[in-house]
Amino acid sequence: MSVNMVSGLSRRHFLGTGLAAAAALGAMPAFALSDAEARALIDKAVADINAIINSGRSEAQMYPQFEKLFASYADVAQIARSALGPAAKSASAAQMKAFTQAFQGYISRKYGRRFREFIGGRIEVTGAKPLKSYFEVISTAYLRGEKPFEVRWHVSNKSGRNLFFNIIIEGVNMLASERTEIGAMLDRRKGNIDALIQDLQKS
């Protein structure tokens, strides 16, 4: 066998081996953030939630604080697009921007009311673990006169920042429930996204 043939085979073998290795690596979950980083994000978010619910502020004063918290720690764009579902594909850029902003206020008030139930209690982060291409951070909510329950947070950095994109409170999945609810709201408005945006701003 000539030197050129051996060289060609060697190159093909090297390239083939390299591509196979790259494919194998691509098939494996790649975490661009660590469990410590995911936990650190939720530690900060939980500290802010605890500070808000035990601040003594009125309900009206709390909601802007919850919206600020949501904007700081959550991947609002991803959550909003997921909630809008298939309609997001046909929405214009302007509609998506307006919907995302309206949804941010709506979800902040909705979950703000949920977290207000924690007044006098606290949330404690207890651990973090990888799930598929993201991390799940587990916390426990302690409320006065009630049995402790879990609050789970899903954290990713697909947006370029470490942010949570889902919350599961007592088994209720935020992404799933909001997609169902927003979908039903859109159906009642015969698919009119602009009408949905206006109603979310008032909710």
The DSSP secondary structure of 79-142, one letter per residue, reads: HHHHHHTTHHHHS-HHHHHHHHHHHHHHHHHHHHHHHHTTTT-EEEEEEEEEETTEEEEEEEEE
What are the start-end ranges of the E strands in 132-202? 134-142, 149-156, 163-169, 172-173
Residue linked to tokens 């207890």: 126
**Residues of the chain predicted below pLDDT 70:** 1-32
- Provide the token pair at 128: 């973090």
Strand partners, 123: 141
Q: What pLDDT, on a 0 to 100 scale, did the predictor assign at position 111? A: 86
What is the tens place of the pLDDT at every residue in 4-40? 433 443 434 433 434 333 333 333 344 568 989 999 9
Strands 172-173 and 163-169, sheet pairing: antiparallel
Residue 4 to residue 70: CA distance in whole angstroms: 62
Nearest Cα neighbor of 50 from 113, 139, 111, 119 is: 119
Q: What pLDDT, on a 0 to 100 scale, did the predictor assign at position 9? A: 38
Q: Record the pTM.
A: 0.79
Q: What pLDDT, on a 0 to 100 scale, did the predictor assign at position 32? A: 66
